[in-house]
Amino acid sequence: MSSEEHSRGYKADEGKPRVGLMLAGFSRALLEVSKVTTEGAERYRDFGFLAVDAGAARYDDAKGRHLLEGYVSESKHHEDEVLGHMAAEAWNALCVLELTLREKEEQAGTQAE
């Protein structure tokens, strides 16, 4: 350890993700995705997406549907609908990413045993 590491007020942040950049930079987008998350939890259940059979593939399809619906709404000049579809598309993309990462972790854990 260096003497700097023992100094008052030192915090070892080097190489760590700067989450604050994401939260501040994408605050409006994340708020909209949070609304989609809340609506889904109220309609189904909290974290229900984790238990959907073939979830990654099904949420990838849903992401594509929202992408297409966004274009359709845009051609009809329904800005609020477009934004809603964009938020739902992002939510579905996050589901695919989360499920894929969890599967990868699970496979790594299985292989390590």
According to the model, what pLDDT value does residue 34 have? 98
Mean pLDDT score, 6-26: 90
Lowest mean pLDDT among 20-24, 52-56, 108-112: 108-112
Mean pLDDT over the full length of the chain: 92
DSSP, res 10: -
What is the pLDDT averaged over residues 29-44?
97
Q: How far is CA 54 from the centre of its chain?
A: 18
CA angle 61, 59, 97 (to 5 degrees): 120
Give the model's confidence band at 112: pLDDT under 50 very low, under 70 low, under 90 confident, else very high: low
Q: What is the mean pLDDT of residues 83-95?
A: 97
